[in-house]
Chain A
Amino acid sequence: AQSVTQLDSHVSVSEGTPVLLRCNYSSSYSPSLFWYVQHPNKGLQLLLKYTSAATLVKGINGFEAEFKKSETSFHLTKPSAHMSDAAEYFCVRASSNTGKLIFGQGTTLQVKP
């Protein structure tokens, strides 16, 4: 079955330090992968998406992710964390059969001052 696994349920960083949120996906031909962010009591906002174009994808708010087929990974990074980045992050893939989204369990990012 198609799936995504977020390797960390909780990540804590200091403001101004790099962020790394890890995601692995089950092997599939040319998956569509996304990262969404969810602030408390809010809906989901798209950060970035990979659709088999460039392997390094740049998103909003300084986030980027690199698609590595050999590692079946799609980790999310940001060079310098900001307090406003504190939120829940979801790695998501689109089902190649139906087009619906399959979510990882989420990673809570805490940013300390």
Chain B
Amino acid sequence: DTGVSQNPRHKITKRGQNVTFRCDPISEHNRLYWYRQTLGQGPEFLTYFQNEAQLEKSRLLSDRFSAERPKGSFSTLEIQRTEQGDSAMYLCASSLALLNSGNTIYFGEGSWLTVV
């Protein structure tokens, strides 16, 4: 078990550029989540997948954001035409099936995005 892996860990980009983050979940986990965290705030839910199906998207996820999990393993989060307000840490997490059954959600170290 190597944990949830995210890369790049840090990204500085100019406003208007596109960025992509990758998340590799724990290998047997079928659920994968993306959260966004800004300074001084708790993480906010963006979207989650069960296997390759994207089951829910937050209203926070504007049409500039897209997430995929093509083979039900790793996932990518792409932000197009970045804005300064997109500066945040993007957290990926994974778990087995439903949380209410006692399974735990494990987080990666996060990917920091700074838009200048």
Judge whether B65 is part of the interface by a CB distance below 8 angstroms. no
* Known A90-B42, A105-B41: A43·B99 in contact at CB below 8 Å: no
Q: Is the CB of B99 within 8 A of A105?
A: no
From B43, B56, B100, contact of A44 by CB (8 A): B43
Q: Is the CB of A106 within 8 A of B100?
A: no
Q: Is the CB of A94 within 8 A of B99?
A: yes
A30 contacts which chain B residues (CB < 8 A)? 100
User: Contacting chain A: which of B14-22, B69-77, B79-87, B101-109?
Assistant: B101-109
Q: Is the CB of B100 within 8 A of A103?
A: no
* Known A44-B91, A100-B45: A49·B107 in contact at CB below 8 Å: no
A interface residues, tally (CB under 8 Å): 24
* Known A32-B99, A104-B42, A105-B42: A98·B56 in contact at CB below 8 Å: yes
Q: Is the CB of A103 within 8 A of B99?
A: no
B interface residues, tally (CB under 8 Å): 30
A44 and B35 alpha carbons, distance in the complex (Å): 11
Greatest chain A CB density within 10 A among B33, B40, B45, B105 is at B105
From A32, A41, A43, A49, contact of B91 by CB (8 A): A43
Question: Shortest beta-carbon distance, B96 to chain A, in Å?
Answer: 11
Q: Is the CB of B109 within 8 A of A103?
A: no
Residues of A within 8 A of B (CB): 30, 32, 34, 36, 41-46, 49, 51, 90, 94, 96, 98-106
The 5 A-B pairs at the shortest CB distance, nearest first, are namely: A103-B42, A94-B99, A44-B107, A43-B109, A51-B102
Residues of B within 8 A of A (CB): 4, 31, 33, 35, 40-45, 48, 55-56, 91, 93, 95, 97-102, 104-110, 112
Between A and B, 22 residue pairs with Cβ closer than 8 Å are: A32-B99, A34-B105, A36-B107, A43-B4, A44-B91, A44-B107, A46-B105, A46-B106, A49-B102, A90-B42, A98-B56, A99-B31, A100-B33, A100-B45, A100-B48, A100-B99, A101-B33, A101-B99, A103-B42, A105-B42, A106-B40, A106-B41
